[in-house]
A and B are shown apart, each in its own frame.
Chain A
Amino acid sequence: MKIPFRPIALGLVVLLFSGVLLERAQAGGGHFFPPVADPLVREECGSCHLAFAPSMLPKSSWTRMMGDLKNHFGDDASIDTAKTERITRYLNANAADSGSQRNGSKFLRGVSMENGPLRITELPKWVSEHRGISPAEWKSKKVGSKANCVACHVDAERGYYDE
């Protein structure tokens, strides 16, 4: 009998590879935060900073933030009503407490879902993960702001925060 080595080897490689991918998606039980997929949200919420992953805040946070874009952390981020409504719907559908966001809800441990904060950088889990970073590092030219996730997490645009 002739053993078909090549197909078997190929199959093994494919298996291994998908195992690696799966591992990465679940790494450490929660480093993947699905990035914003909607082009409108990327355009309107991704020009001044990274388009933050909706699963990093609960619905109550997004709803409150979207209700006052004119006073958005000192900036005027306002847009027309139709766009505002569409973006609010998207953020809420993918929020930490939307049901489908396992990682988001871990990241939000100890946070009130009904009265969430406006800042990801104020979540207790975020604060504890970043305790080791010195004030000088936050102020450095490369970083400049806590909201500049990409300065340290080069893959943040793709949803990964594990480096």
Chain B
Amino acid sequence: MKTQKATTLLLAALLLPLGSYAASRDELLAQYALSAKAASPAFSGFSAARGEKLHVTKFAGGKAETPACTACHADSPRSAGRTPAGKSIEALAVSLTPARYTDPAKVEKWFKRNCNDVLGRECTPLEKGDWLSYMISQ
């Protein structure tokens, strides 16, 4: 009896951070959804499939060395990537790196830098929401 209670408590303590990680990601997605809706009333939700396409597409508008997100982040979100200066980057898939996308300021900072590098412009809220949905699904 007592051990069962202790186990439950322990489990709860272990799962609590995962739960709050998920909650902060949901909050961020909800914000992107509001902005996406404001930009286009036809908005009807994010799509992980569109997010995957954004992730692997080669664009011409950004820097020549980084035509796609996959230039630094590996081809698969489940693999580690590498920057041009050789620093390794942990996998983007939430299943492998559970703390990802839980600090909105960090997420926004990198969307700004990386979308400029790859597309030569900032990403739209729709693109950000799609891309995040893809990574959360991985």
Residues of A bordering B, CB below 8 Å: 46-50, 74-77, 79, 143-145, 147-148, 150-151
Contacts and interface: CB of A to CB of B under 8 A. Distances in A.
B87 A49 contact: yes
B113 A151 contact: no
A47 B116 CA distance: 17
A70 to B, nearest CB: 11
A37 B122 CA distance: 33
Given A75-B113, A76-B113, A79-B109, A145 B87 contact: no
Contacts of A48: 83, 85, 87
Given A76-B116, A144-B85, 11 more contacts: A46-B87, A47-B83, A48-B87, A49-B83, A50-B87, A75-B113, A76-B113, A148-B86, A148-B87, A150-B86, A151-B86
Nearest to A73: B85
Interface string B82-105: 011111010000000000000000
A147 B85 contact: yes
A147 B109 contact: no
Q: On chain B, which size bracket covers the interface?
A: 10 to 19
Contacts of A75: 113, 117
Contacts of B116: 76
Contacts, number: 35
Interface of B: 63, 83-87, 89, 109, 112-113, 116-117
Which of A48, A50, A74, A77 gathers most chain B CB within 10 Å? Answer: A48
Nearest to B112: A76
Contacts of B113: 75-77
A148 B85 contact: yes
B109 A145 contact: no
Nearest to B105: A80
B67 to A, nearest CB: 15
Contacts of A47: 83, 87, 89
A76 B85 CA distance: 14
Pick from B83, B85, B112, B117 the residue with the most CB of A within 10 Å: B85
A149 to B, nearest CB: 8
A150 B84 CA distance: 13
Contacts of B63: 74
Nearest to B106: A43
A158 to B, nearest CB: 16
B86 A144 contact: yes
